[in-house]
Amino acid sequence: MACLRTPIFPTIITVMFVIALVALQGAVLHAGAADTFSADQPLSGSQKPLVSKRGKFALGFFQPDNSRRWYIGIWYNKIPEQVLVWVANRDFPLSSPELSSLTISTDGNMVLLNGSRSAVWSTNMTAIASSTVGVILDTGNLVLADASNTSIILWQSYNHFGNTWLPGGKLGRGNLIGGSTRLVAWKTFSDPNPGLFSLVLDPNGTSQFFLMWNNTQQYVTSGNWTGQTFSNTPDMAPTNGYPNSMYIFDYVDGAHGSYCVYADKGDEQITRLILDATGRINIFTWTESTQKWILYWSAPKAQCDVYSLCGSFSVCTQGTQSCSCLRGFSEEYQGQWSQGDHTQGCRRNVALQASTNGSRSDKFYPMVGVKLPSNARMIVAAGSTQSCELACLSSHDCTAYSFNGSCSHWFGGIINLVQDLSSVNVGTNSGSIQIRLAASEFSGWKNIKRLAIIITISTISVALIIIASVFLMRKWFKKVAPVEGSLMAFGYRDVQTLTKNFSSKLGGGSFGSVFKGSPEEGTLVAVKKLEGFHQGEKQFRAEVSTLGTVRHVNLIRLLGFCSERTHMLLVYEYMPNASLDRYLFGSSHEPVLSWSTRYQIALGVARGLHYLHERCRDCIIHCDIKPENILLNETFMPKVADFGLAKLMGHDFSRVLTTVRGTVGYLAPEWIAGTAITTKADVYSYGMMLFEIMSGRRNVRHRQDSTVDFFPLLAAMKLTEGELEGLVDTRLGCDVDSAEVERAFRVACWCIQDQEGARPAMATIVQVLEGLVEVNVPPVPRSLKLLGDQSNFVEFSSE
């Protein structure tokens, strides 16, 4: 409306419109409000839902997923998809809505009557004297109020939580609250029946919240209220403006109880905190422009950290965040499992043999790279793997063992087993575990072995054929470059020859090593040998599926690969000048890169990323932009490399939710906040790297007095003062172009803005660096100030 105000004519229209609106509202109120029901005017199943005064919430009958189960619930009236925030009859669904109604009973309580007029749900208050009505308010609160004065509230849904905590709701304990005090998740995404997960304020009187499983096991503790936020989950209540103040939490401690409450911007904003069926808390806000929910915060950060998420004898895979039964087990209830409720776990296919005499009637199946469950675990005195295994066999209940120098046994159902494949979060108690199975489960394995031999023989013959054809193809390959998307499949022996049996190592990292390969004829290649079975395989797939499909002068070229049994090798074009970090922070015997070379490198990387983000068939997010991953050819042209963490997104998706990947110091705030990421995460890392290209130093430097010297903060502040003196690498002397310096610093600082929306797209960055578009001086990002503070930095980097 603000923009309508200036010319006179539209102002009159606006005023008339407002008058009409007020008149209309008055009319509605007089006709018996559409947000109220009473004994005379119940809300029946055949009726349209009631709508709160300003139209924010609706109250009515609904059925999840055409399930033939009907409920009374509250949802957002203006959001196309039906998102429930409260359900009355969670454990007593109606079979049909036609003859049912939500009404006021003779004793003044709100009741839900089924087809045979009996109450399936009631507010269940005693001694209500006056006549009452039910009203759905614009806050999403359903209240039972005095009919003569609806400000007198006798009961409210805000005190009877479901799985959703709306702004204004008070979650806590004691009489101050006067109702239920816990958030209880749905059983599945389409079943409002109370599930096993809940959120509760510590009943023992501290100010911390617990995420609980089956009311007994805590799996996340918020830590105590510090006056501003909770100590273990400081990013939950961003009162300091990080990531930004979309909502504000407050904790109230009184003589008759304590509670926590939060507020958002009210009518302008739609925020909800939900404990979902998979045991995770999420805070979402609705964005009108994209018509999507944006995830602002969630806990636990890793889905597999939810207690007993997958039930017993099932494993949670960190990367895919999914449950699967252990070998030798199958889903307990397939129906529930397929609906996403895995909490019942898996059942043994063949019963264990009772082995009273210690004979080996059962056997063990090893699982490696798992985070070992801590419950039902006992340390047993045993000096070797064999004695640890024997001791487990002789115990009737022992279902698994692990030996790492000391012997651990597990008893009964094994829960919380996590396959730990992610690049970060590698648990300290990761190891291998031996799962006990009936011996007969292994007889099938012999067949598998036989099959394996057959497969191996045929693989070898196929490999021979491939090697032969590769040999022939190599001659052809020299003349004709492979067409886009076509990769050479190398045999292992072939790669061995190429690298002279891996004799010349170029470098290495956590992923494995890189070797130089010299074909008999033609140009040199680099061969990356991935190690670590699961991790390696993941990276291998990521590189082949992303890099294998793209071609750009500023992206490293993948020429081919080799995947034979456990060998995973990638063959790239060879980059004689290695990686950018060597020249920026390396030893003094590397040449100093001139300003123009640095500027061309910055521009080249921007072009490569622009291509990745927008030009190729599926959008690719690199996820790990840093100087170490920028390779330089003989003319110092940059090539973006190392796609081991890259994410491929279909064109229909603009965001992808994934586990944290990348390198601390280059990670955008949304990674740490645990929200979905976009290509703007790469833009952030690019900005951080751009600072390093210009300064020739690491962004973070620990001073002798153990404080932190954080270059981007210094640069951003100097930029706002218009003072760039001393920011550029001193080794360059006067060899700088001050217009380019100014431009590059502005770009870098725009790239690292807290809000993704404020960061420019790679296309814009290219245009600015090319001098085609001007940018103004960016604000100093808030999170930089936090990072600049040493105490915060420690916290941040330990995420």
* Subset of residues 675 to 714 that bind ligand NAG, contact rule: CB under 6 A: none
Residue 345 CB, nearest distance to ligand NAG (Å)?
A: 9
432 binds ligand NAG (CB under 6 A): no
Nearer to ligand NAG, 130 or 755 (CB): 130
Select 100 or 539, whichever has its Cβ closest to ligand NAG: 100
Per CB under 6 A, does 776 bind ligand NAG? Answer: no
Residues 214-253 that bind ligand NAG (CB under 6 A): 214
In angstroms, the CA 370 to CA 533 distance is 13
Residue 11 CB partners (closer than 8 Å, separation 6+)? 4, 5
User: Judged by CB under 6 A, does residue 406 bind ligand NAG?
Assistant: yes
Compute the distance between CA of residue 78 and CA of residue 268 in angstroms, rounded to an integer: 13
Residue 322 has phi, psi (to 5 degrees) of -130, 160
| 154 sits in which H/E element | strand 153-156
> Of 195 and 669, which CB lies nearer to ligand NAG in the complex structure?
195
SS3 at position 638: strand
- Using the rule CB under 6 A, which residue among 14, 25, 82, 124 binds ligand NAG? 124
Query: CB 409 → ligand NAG: shortest distance, Å?
Result: 12
Q: Could you tell me which stretch among 72-80, 354-362, 432-440, 494-502 binds ligand NAG (CB under 6 A)?
A: 354-362
Q: How far is the CB of 172 from ligand NAG (least distance, A)?
A: 21
Which string of x and - marks every residue 508-537 that binds ligand NAG (by CB under 6 A)?
------------------------------
Which of 70, 121, 574, 611 is in the footprint of ligand NAG by CB under 6 A? Answer: 121
- Return the SS3 of 147: coil
Cα angle: 271, vertex 273, 278; to 5 degrees: 140
Nearer to ligand NAG, 420 or 494 (CB): 420
Q: Does 359 bind ligand NAG (CB under 6 A)?
A: yes
Question: Which one of residues 357, 486, 635, 738 is an interface residue with ligand NAG (CB under 6 A)?
Answer: 357
Window contacting ligand NAG (CB under 6 A); options: 35-43, 400-408, 414-422, 614-622: 400-408
Residue 344 CB, nearest distance to ligand NAG (Å)?
7
266 DSSP assignment: G
Which residues lie closer than 8 Å to 9 by C-beta, 6 or more apart? none
8 A C-beta contact, residue 522 and residue 530: no
Task: Tell me how far, at minimum, the Cβ of 72 lies from ligand NAG, in Å.
Answer: 13
Q: Is 292 helix (H, G, I), strand (E, B) or coil?
A: strand
Among 6, 116, 149, 791, binds ligand NAG (CB under 6 A): 149
Angle 158-162-163 (CA atoms, 0-180°, nearest 5)? 120
Whose Cβ is closer to ligand NAG: residue 316's or residue 786's? Answer: 316
Helix, strand and coil in the chain, % to nearest 5: 25, 30, 45
Please say which residue, 122 or 577, places its beta carbon nearer to ligand NAG.
122
Min dist. Cβ of residue 432 to ligand NAG (A): 11
Taking contact as CB under 6 A, which single stretch among the options 180-188, 403-411, 445-453, 671-679 is the one that binds ligand NAG? 403-411
Candidates 144-152, 234-242, 454-462, 764-772 — which segment interacts with ligand NAG by CB under 6 A?
Answer: 144-152
Nearest in space to 438 (alpha carbons), one of 331, 313, 328: 328
Instruction: Select the residue interacting with ligand NAG from 12, 152, 455, 657 (CB under 6 A).
Output: 152
DSSP 553: T
Select 394 or 406, whichever has its Cβ closest to ligand NAG: 406
What DSSP state is assigned to residue 611? I
122 counts as binding ligand NAG under rule CB under 6 A: yes
* Residue among 180, 384, 429, 654 that touches ligand NAG (CB under 6 A): 429
- Beta carbon of residue 91, minimum distance to ligand NAG (angstroms, whole number): 10
Minimum distance between the CB of residue 347 and ligand NAG, rounded to whole angstroms?
Answer: 14
Q: Does 126 bind ligand NAG (CB under 6 A)?
A: no
Q: Do you find a cis peptide bond into 194, omega within 30 degrees of 0?
A: no
Burial class (CB in 10 A: 0-12, 13-18, 19+), 615: middle
Catalytic residue among 305, 624, 682, 729: 624
CB-based burial label for 675 (10 Å; 0-12, 13-18, 19+): buried
From the CB of 129, what's the least distance to ligand NAG, in Å?
A: 15
SS3 305: helix
443 binds ligand NAG (CB under 6 A): no
Is residue 384 involved in binding ligand NAG (CB under 6 A)?
no
Tell me the DSSP string of 691-742: HHHHHSS-SEEE-TTS-EEEHHHHHHHHHHTT--TTTS-GGGTT---HHHHH
Spatial distance between the Cα atoms of 390 and 387, rounded to a whole number of angstroms: 5
202 is catalytic: no
CB contact set of 450 (below 8 Å; sequence gap of 6+): none
- Give whichever of 24 and 152 is closer to ligand NAG, judged by the CB atom: 152
Task: Indicate the DSSP class of residue 677.
Answer: B
The answer to whether 361 contacts ligand NAG (rule: CB under 6 A) is yes
Tokens representing 173? 């304990």
**Interface with ligand NAG by CB under 6 A: which range of 118-126, 277-285, 385-393, 512-520?**
118-126
Q: How far is the CB of 309 from ligand NAG (least distance, A)?
A: 12
Kind of pairing between the strands at 619-621 and 558-564: unpaired
Least separation in angstroms between CB 171 and ligand NAG? 21
The Cα 697–Cα 562 span in angstroms is: 37
Name the region of 353 (left: φ>0; alpha: ψ -120 to 50; beta: rest).
Answer: beta
- CA gap 431, 666 in Å, rounded: 30
Nearer to ligand NAG, 231 or 406 (CB): 406
Sign of CA dihedral 229, 235, 237, 238: positive
Binding site for ligand NAG (CB under 6 A): 119, 121-122, 124, 149, 151-152, 214, 357, 359, 361, 404-406, 429
Positions marked catalytic: 624
